[in-house]
Amino acid sequence: MALVELRNVSKIYQVGDEEIRALDDVTLDIENGEFISIIGPSGSGKSTLMHLLGCLDTPTHGTITLDGIQIQNATSMQLAAIRNRKIGFVFQSFNLLPKLNVAQNVEVPMIYAGVSSRERRERVMEALKRVGLENRAKHRPMQLSGGQQQRVAIARALINRPRIIFADEPTGNLDTHTGEAILNLFRELSQQGSTIVLVTHNPEIAAVTPRRIEIRDGKISINIDKRLAGLE
């Protein structure tokens, strides 16, 4: 069984009298340990897909199974718990909490998970080491560069040892050089066994991942796996 299974998933928004099919009958599997990019122009439905995969939203039709749990009928409290424990998010604009320092930012998901304070402290340092920011624990997000902020966000996404990480345009606000470093970090994490989904509109970034899914008008138009295709 795949880590994530989408079966005939549709998401329909009602705007006035008009029905907008943001996602139209999408079926998709993501295996454990995969490194995938989802690519598509804006308005293609890739954000909607990511929101559904990330349990921020529920589908109108179809079923989604994440790590064996049915998502489509879950309550908001169950969704919150799944987001907390099984999913890590990395955003384009980092979305760190400005009033908390780096260590506290990384700590927040564990507070919601009810981890003891001693274990929290240990795991924060471990995660910061993993992204190379162990000596910045007491800094405020605003005192860090964009690349460093994104590393903090990645550390936060990793902290509850999620089954899958979603990164929404993680390099969008970074210069090419820093962006590359962040992509390398993702690659490293992937090699260490994390399941990672990159959402982007940039084909160059999408080229980094072994598997690439292209979305157009709410449907999957291209689904390439370089390894299966023998390209890598």
Partner 1 sequence: MNIWATIIVGLKEIWSHKFRSALTMLGIVLGVASLVGMSALVKGMENGMREAMQAVGGIEKVSVIQQELPPAQSHLADQVVGITMADVEALKQNATLTKLITPEMNMGRGAVVSRGKKIYRPWNISGTWPNALEMNVHTIEYGRMFNEIDDDLARNVCVIGTEVRDQLFGSFEETGKEIIPIGENININGQLFTIIGMFTRYESEKQKKEREYQMANPSPERMGPQRRTGWGRGGPGGWAFMMKNSTIYMPLNTMWMKFRAASGTGGIPDPTLSTLNIRITSVEEMEAALQQARNVMMQTHFAMEDFDFRTQENWDENISKQVNNYRWSGGIIAAISLIVGGIGIMNIMFASITERIREIGVRKAIGATTFAIFVQILIESIVVAFIGGVLGLIASYGLVELFKILIPTDNEPVIMMSSMVIAFSFGVFVGLLAGLLPAVKAAKLDPIEALRYE
- Nearest distance from residue 208's CB to partner 1, in Å? 24
Cα end-to-end distance, the chain, whole Å? 24
Q: Which stretch binds partner 1 (CB under 8 A): 11-19, 32-40, 49-57, 180-188?
A: 49-57
Give the binding-site size for partner 1 (rule: CB under 8 A).
27
Nearer to partner 1, 97 or 228 (CB): 97
Nearer to partner 1, 108 or 208 (CB): 108
- Nearest distance from residue 142's CB to partner 1, in Å? 12
Give the three-class secondary structure for 23: strand
Q: CA angle, corner 124, sides to 123 and 129, nearest 5?
A: 95
Among 24, 25, 29, 57, binds partner 1 (CB under 8 A): 57
φ, ψ (nearest 5 deg) of residue 194? -75, 150
Among residues 68, 58, 53, 62, the alpha carbon closest in space to that of 197 is found at 53
Site for partner 1 in 81-120 (CB under 8 A): 81, 83-85, 89, 91, 95-97, 99-100, 108-109, 111-114
Q: Does residue 68 belong to the site contacting partner 1 (CB under 8 A)?
A: no
Show the binding pattern over residues 137-166: x = contacts partner 1 (CB under 8 A), - = does not: -------------------xx--x------
Among residues 160, 8, 2, the alpha carbon closest in space to that of 66 is found at 2
Among 10, 12, 33, 56, binds partner 1 (CB under 8 A): 56
- Nearest distance from residue 180's CB to partner 1, in Å? 26
Query: Contacts from 94-100 at CB under 8 Å and sequence distance 24+?
Result: 94/141, 94/146, 94/149, 94/150, 94/152, 94/153, 94/173, 95/153, 96/141, 96/149, 96/152, 96/153, 96/156, 97/141, 98/140, 98/141, 98/142, 100/141
Q: What is the spatial distance between Cα 216 and Cα 41, in angstroms, rounded to a whole number?
A: 7
| Residues within the interface to partner 1 (CB under 8 A) | 51, 54, 56-57, 76-77, 80-81, 83-85, 89, 91, 95-97, 99-100, 108-109, 111-114, 156-157, 160
